[in-house]
Amino acid sequence: QVQLVESGGGLVQPGGSLRLSCVASGTSFRINAMKWFHEVPGKERELIAWVTAGGRKNYMPSVQGRFTIIPDNAKNTVYLQMNGLKPEDTGVYYCNAPFLTVIDGVAKEFDYWGQGTQVTVSF
């Protein structure tokens, strides 16, 4: 059983900040990699930031310099610090993480999604 739970969303004014969290739990082994996605109605879910299993953090240009991934593997948690928020950042944020599960003696990787957390940036 695997579960990812996002939290930390809310209403914030342009230029403000929020810190989202994604907490992983379950009996499967979590690979220390995670992706953050942003979804707006009428548009496909968009990858905006991710950290590799090796710990490298990557950002799409739309959030580069404003968002920061902060892993805390001991707590099975990854934070997304969002600064300088813009109205276009409004939407639902999802985390996605791979887990290893043993099937017939073979470790296989599966991706899991959280339920999402709503962020609204407006006056």
Mean pLDDT of the chain: 94
Quote the pLDDT of residue 26. 81
Band of pLDDT at residue 73, cut at 50, 70 and 90: confident
Higher-pLDDT residue of 1 and 16 is: 16
Average of pLDDT values for 36-65? Answer: 96
> Residue 90 pLDDT more than 90?
yes
Q: Mean pLDDT throughout 35-57?
A: 96
User: Average pLDDT, stretch 96-117?
Assistant: 91
Q: What is the DSSP string of 60-121?
A: -TTTTTTEEEEEEGGGTEEEEEE-S--GGG-EEEEEEEEEEEEETTEEEEEEEE---EEEEE
